[in-house]
Amino acid sequence: SSDEGGSNAVPVGINGYLYQIPRDKPFKVPTEVVHVLRESVTTVYSRDSKGEVVASDRPRYAFSAVPA
């Protein structure tokens, strides 16, 4: 990402453990970490054609998961 922090590792905390997941590299993580990443969303606000504010949730992180 070109956003601020876009090349930094992604921190994911579960039950007192912190995983620093590097971007653009394969990385093995427990299934629970994948669930956290899937549930991480960012809410984006925009205006529709009537000028009303509309909220939509989008995935926070782009990733792919391959079962072990």
- Distance between CA atoms of residues 35 and 26, nearest Å: 17
Write out pLDDT tens, residues 33-63: 999 999 999 999 999 999 999 999 999 988 8
Count how many residues are written for the chain. 68
pTM over 0.85: no
Pick the closest to residue 65 from 28, 40, 39, 15 (CA basis): 28
Q: Tell me the three state secondary structure of residue 31.
A: helix
**Residue type, position 53, single letter:** V
Residues 6+ apart with CB under 8 A from 20: 9, 10, 11
What was the pLDDT predicted at 5? 54
Contact call for residues 40 and 60 (beta carbons, < 8 A): yes
